[in-house]
Structure 1
Amino acid sequence: MPVLKHEQTAKKLASLLEQGYGHGQGKNYKPFLDVIRVPSKGRVSRIKGWKTNRVHHFLTDSETRYFYLLEYGEFEGFQISDIREHYPLIEGMNEILPTLDEQLIKRLFNQKSGEPMVLVTTFLITLKNTNGDISYCARSVKDYRQLENSQIIERFEVMNRYWNFRGIDYGIITNREIPIVPAKNIEFIHSSYHLDEYGLREQEQVIYRDYLLKLIAESQDSTIKDIVYQFDSQLNTENGTGLLLYKHLLARKMLKVDMNKPIDLEQPCSEITIVDRGGSIDAFYEHVTSI
C-alpha cells in the first residue's frame, strides 16, 4: 500500500498539498504519488488515459493492469467517468480519528519521528448511472502476499473506516483477482485509441475506419493478418497502418472479439463481430465487472 512517509514532515505535506498534489478531477487531477518522486520495487508506468486525457502514474504491474480494465469496461453496471490514482486520505481524516483505537492511530504516524504519514488509496473511481447520477468507489490494489503483514492490514482497516465514513464503497484487489489476458489485450490496443496522435486527420480516420470494416465484412474467410496487409497495400499507406486501425476499432468497440482470449492476428474475420456504430456496445466480459 502506498504510504508517503520517507523523510516526511507536516511542513512537507503542506507544501505538496499547496502544489496541488491529490487535488483536482479529470484532466486536472494531480496524483499524490507519481513515478518521479516515489521509488518503487515494481515496474512503473506512465499511461495517457482514455477517460481523462492525462498521464496516469502507476508503481506496479498490478496497478497498471487494473487501470486497463477500468479504462475498457464498466464497473458493476455503471459507466466510469473519471479515474484518480493514488488518492490521499486527508480530507475528513480528523473526523474518524475518535473512532480509531491506539493501534490503528499508530499507522498514521512515523513511529520514529512522530511525523504524520499519509495513507493513499490506489484508485478513486467516479461512476455515472444511466440517469447521469454520480457516485464513487475506492479500491486498493495489493500483492496478495503482503496481506499477511499485520501493519498493512491495520492500514487497510483505517482506509475502510475512512471510506465508509464518507459513504463510499471500498475494497481491496489483489494481483490474484486481476485477469491477466484481458488486461494484456487492452494494453495491446490502448495506445491506438486516439488516431490523431499518429498524424491522421479526422477525414482520413473516417475513410480508413470504414474501409477496414468493409474489408473485414467482405473477407470472412481471411485472417486479420491478411486483411491489415491488404489494407496497407490497397490504400498505399505506411506499413502497420492497417494494424493500427484494427487495434483502434477494438479500442473504440466498433469491433468485438473475445477479450478473455489473447488477441490473435491469425483469427479469421468470420469470428469477429462488427458492432453497429449507432447501437449500445457491451464488449466487456463478465469476470472483470465482478471485481
Structure 2
Amino acid sequence: MSNRPSAKTKAIRKMGQGTGADYKPYITTSEFNSQGTTSVIKDWKTGRAVHCLSQGEMYWYYILRWDDTNVDVREQYPLDYTETVNIANEMGFPPPREIMTTDMLATKKDGTEVAYSVKADKQLSKRQMQLLCIEKQYWLNQGTECQLVFKSEMNTILASNIRLVTEFYDAALVFDVVSAIKHKIAIKEIEFDMGFKPIENSDLMKLLEVKNE
C-alpha cells in the first residue's frame, strides 16, 4: 500500500463516518499502489463517489443499490478495533493488526442493517477464514445480520445492466431515444428484465415499440 493515512488521520478526516451522500469510506482506492480491479463509481441516487476495492465489490454495490429496500449502502465500513481484538482473543485467533472493515453495510427501510463480506471465490486462506469469523461475530454482537457473498455466485449480467441504465438516472444526461429509455428504466418508470441478458439497443427499441402500442 501507499499514501495510506494513519488511523488518527482517518479519524480527523471522519473517514468511516456519515450516512448517505455524506459518508466517507474508511479505505479508499488511492491507498493502493496498483489500481488493478479497484474502481470509484458514482452512486446514482446521491452522487457520492463509492470506493470499490474489487470487481466483486463493484458488482455487489450495484445490485444492493438497485434494490429499493436498501436506503443506504456504505462501503469499507470500519469495525471497533478493541472489540475485534477481544473477539479474536476469545476465539483463540491472532488479533487483527489494524482496524478491520466490512465491505458493504446496507441499511434497510425499516432501519435494520445487513453487513456483507465480498470475496472473489471460495478459495480462502486460513487467515481469511479467521478474519471472517471475527467479522461475523462482531456483527452478531451488534444484533446485525452478516452475510458472505462470492463474486462467482453473483448475477454479473444484472450488475452490468444496472450500471448501463443508471448512467442516465439524471434526466439532464438524456440525449437521444435510447438514453431516454435507459433513464426510464433507471427511475423504474419502465420495467425491464435486467438479469437475463446484456442490454442491447435493439432490446430497448422493441421495448419502446411495445409501450407505444
TM-score, normalized by length of structure 2?
A: 0.86
Give me the CA root mean square deviation: 2.6
Which 5+ residue runs of structure 2 have no aligned equivalent?
none
Task: Write out per-residue CA displacement over residues 129-148 of structure 1, whole angstroms, 9 at most, x where no aligned residue.
Answer: xxxx311110011111442x
- Tell me how far apart the structure 2 counterparts of residues 151 and 271 of structure 1 sit (CA, whole Å): 55
Q: What residue in structure 1 maps to residue 185 of structure 2? A: 250
> Does the Cα contact within 8 Å between 2:105 and 2:113 map onto a contact in 1?
yes
- Tell me how far apart the structure 2 counterparts of residues 140 and 17 of structure 1 sit (CA, whole Å): 23
TM-score, normalized by length of structure 1?
A: 0.65
Q: What residue in structure 1 maps to residue 119 of structure 2? A: 142
> Which piece of structure 1 moves more, 11-20 or 137-146?
11-20
**Shift of residue 6, structure 1, vs aligned partner:** 7.4
Q: Residue 7 and residue 182 in structure 1: after superposition, are their counterparts in 2 closer, same or farther (change >3 A)?
A: closer
Which amino acid in 2 is paired with 1:269? L
> Does the Cα contact within 8 Å between 1:89 and 1:121 map onto a contact in 2?
yes
- Tell me how far apart the structure 2 counterparts of residues 251 and 61 of structure 1 sit (CA, whole Å): 22
Q: Matched residue of 1:106: which SS? A: coil
- Tell me how far apart the structure 2 counterparts of residues 27 and 16 of structure 1 sit (CA, whole Å): 18
1:77-92 paired onto structure 2 within 5 Å: 79-90=69-80
**Shift of residue 249, structure 1, vs aligned partner:** 0.6
1:119-268 paired onto structure 2 within 5 Å: 119-128=100-109, 133-147=110-124, 149-196=125-172, 198=173, 240-261=175-196, 262-267=198-203, 268=206
Which protein has greater RCO, CA pairs closer than 8 Å, 6+ apart? 1
Q: Residue 19 and residue 249 in structure 1: after superposition, are their counterparts in 2 closer, same or farther (change >3 A)?
A: same
- Tell me how far apart the structure 2 counterparts of residues 172 and 40 of structure 1 sit (CA, whole Å): 25
> Does the Cα contact within 8 Å between 1:255 and 1:272 map onto a contact in 2?
no
> Does the Cα contact within 8 Å between 2:29 and 2:51 map onto a contact in 1?
yes
- Tell me how far apart the structure 2 counterparts of residues 108 and 271 of structure 1 sit (CA, whole Å): 57
Percent same amino acid at aligned positions? Answer: 27
Bigger CA radius of gyration? 1
- Tell me how far apart the structure 1 counterparts of residues 14 and 86 of structure 2 sit (CA, whole Å): 28
> Does the Cα contact within 8 Å between 2:102 and 2:135 map onto a contact in 1?
yes
Question: After the TM superposition, which segments of 4 or more aligned residues of structure 1 sit over 6 Å from their partners?
Answer: 5-8
- Tell me how far apart the structure 2 counterparts of residues 7 and 46 of structure 1 sit (CA, whole Å): 17
**Number of residues of Structure 1 aligned to a counterpart in Structure 2:** 209
> Does the Cα contact within 8 Å between 1:104 and 1:154 map onto a contact in 2?
no
Task: Write out per-residue CA displacement over residues 181-225 of structure 1, whole angstroms, 9 at most, x where no aligned residue.
Answer: 1111111112100123x3x7xxxxxxxxxxxxxxxxxxxxxxxxx
